[in-house]
Amino acid sequence: MCGLLGLVCASENDAVNARPAVGQALRCQRHRGPDETDTWTDGEVVYGFNRLAIIDVEHSHQPLTWGPPENPDRYTINFNGEIYNYLELREELAAEHGAKFATEGDTESIVAAYHHLGPAAVGRLRGMFAFLIWDSERKVVFGARDPFGIKPLYYSAGPGGVAFASEKKSLLELASTLAVAEELDRTALQHYLVLQYVPEPESLHSGIRRIESGTSFTVEPGGEVKTERYFSPEFTAKPVSGPAEVAALHEQIAEVMRDSVAKHMRADVTVGAFLSGGIDSTAIAALAKEHNPNLITFTTGFEREGYSEVDVAAESAAAIGVEHVVRTVSADEMMDTLPLIVWYLDDPVADPALVPLWFIAREARKRVKVVLSGEGSDELFGGYTIYREPLSLAPFEKVPGGVRKLLGKVSSRIPEGTRGKDLLRRGALSLEERYYGNARIFRDDQLRGVLKTFREGVGHGDVTAPWYDLSRGWDPVARMQHVDLFTWLRGDILVKADKVTMANSLELRVPFLDSEVFRVASSIPLDQKITKETTKFALRRALDGIVPAHVLNRRKLGFPVPIRVWLRDEMYDWARGVIADSQTGDLLDKPAVQAMLDEHKSGALDHSRRLWALLVFMLWHGIFIENRIKPEIPEPQYPVKL
């Protein structure tokens, strides 16, 4: 787990001249790898690297050079992530191809696999990764990003070359070197205010984009980035019938989760686990305890009734027999720390849960260097409550199309906040029209009154349509899961997981997002995922006996944050100040935003999530566009080993 930076120039002279700028740009992401920092140049390529040493701590330094006996310096790799099947892969490459290794780490396994298997090697990697491999013989860089988008990879192309980085901040530092634009992308802003995140491959800076999840690419000196999708997930449900087949499915789920957690525990440093009150993190912690009897778990909460899972998490920790650490977060800490967190994010993410996650990551880093977490379970196993919506909206499917449209018009005349308005509105829409992921912040009719640069014709369909096109013929829940893999998961869940933990030089691993786990999960039939009573039905049955009974059928909460009540009370004056100070008047109707805040304070309507999205953007704009807000960035000071 680290921070990489790579620059592919048109000439060797350009690369030599750019090396000091690359070294300076590395400082923006030093938190990703405080253990070692290095730069390297060969031909037209410059690499920079910040290392967080996890496996083969004393060796496996990067950038790492490897090659066959006849050309031992042929390849140089810059790699961020972990390959969990690296031991098996090394053995296979040695046995079948005679590959030789100089370290005990996972980095060599990637470049050796690429040499012997070509681009197909990416499909053999079981892990989280973003990497660049410079082939000095063919004069080409080959790279890839993991199937689910766990690890980030930004890129920017201009007359000065093509640069890749784990954090956008580093590319902004190189903007003058590359001669690329830094303007605000207004289409991406509109998407953000609808979705609460900036969807891939966009960023809020027009000159910077992201390599998409499950994509590999090549770039030659002086050339363009050429991408190819190597992972296209399919939910191919296999019917199961009878007690024996159902039991076999549940056992298969339990076995693959045990195997995934076992491989995710591979490290030469201390591994802990995040623990909320839900089934996902509890399952990961319980399975991790089988490999580390001294496992430490971490949770966070708030001193406000109804907004904390601390008690349930503590009960779970006691039941599975692990040491447990709790970090309570106050409204004052939220307000004081949010600008710093937004700086770490690179692009705004309007998910309040990232703030308590930042605090518990900071607490965990005092005790461990790696944590396991439960992200991805809901997308793979059908865990979101909204996945049950096709059941509740089934009666609308029997209504003729003309009548459904009429119902939609009727719903538009019902006052906001009226019970049943949204159900009627959504029932009048097709799945493709109504579902664009778990976050629904602003509807178009709401956004027109706030966003001055609102563009008709720009909507969620721009983001979701390609993924719906690939899932035609699947059941509606599988289609929703598929959309979430490419939107909510990689746009919100994994961005905050990576950015907030790496801000504290802490590696986060997600055993549910494993290729073998997906292979099993993607075959689960609809009736084993969603029922009228519960979600993740098959997973819950598979984990019976692993997860404590008080958690097994508990509804999902995650890390709930009390912004609804805080924005009416403790955070009102702070929010008012953020709005007043923001220089976003050319983009947002600031009086309308203030009116929303006052309406929320009065209790007339709950605008909390929309307000939070606007406030986070205003802070982001103050940091990255206005250069008015300058958070004090702490220098990471951690030991190599824990």
Q: Give the Cα separation of 525 and 463 in Å (integer).
A: 27
Strand partners, 544: 547
Cis peptide before 466 (omega within 30 of 0): no
First to last CA, the chain: 15
331 neighbors 566 (Cβ within 8 angstroms)? yes
> Could you tell me which of 376, 384, 613 has the C-alpha nearest to residue 489?
376
Helix (H) or strand (E) holding 228: strand 226-229
CA distance to 219, 265, 350, 453, 466, per residue, from 584 (Å) = 37, 46, 17, 11, 32
Strands 154-158 and 127-135: unpaired
Amino acid at 336: D
Q: Does 374 show up as a binding residue in the annotation?
A: yes
Q: Does 515 show up as a binding residue in the annotation?
A: no
Q: Give the Cα separation of 607 and 596 in Å (integer).
A: 7
Q: 136 burial class (0-12, 13-18, 19+ CB within 10 angstroms)?
A: middle
Strand partners, 50: 3, 37
Q: 523 burial class (0-12, 13-18, 19+ CB within 10 angstroms)?
A: middle
Q: Give the Cα separation of 393 and 408 in Å (integer).
A: 13
Q: Does 206 show up as a binding residue in the annotation?
A: no
Residue 356 three-state SS: helix
Among this protein's residues, is 2 annotated catalytic? yes
Name the catalytic one among 2, 273, 288, 611.
2
Q: Give the Cα separation of 416 and 596 in Å (integer).
A: 13
Helix-helix angle 608-624:590-602, to 10 degrees? 140
Q: Give the Cα separation of 163 and 168 in Å (integer).
A: 10
Q: Give the Cα separation of 468 and 477 in Å (integer).
A: 12
How many of the other CB atoms lie within 10 Å of CB of 47? Answer: 25
Q: Give the Cα separation of 98 and 91 in Å (integer).
A: 10
> Could you tell me which of 518, 543, 539, 517 has the C-alpha nearest to residue 528?
539
Annotated binding site for ATP: 373-374
Known binding-site residues equal 106, 373-374
List binding-site positions for L-glutamine: 106
| Catalytic residue IDs | 2
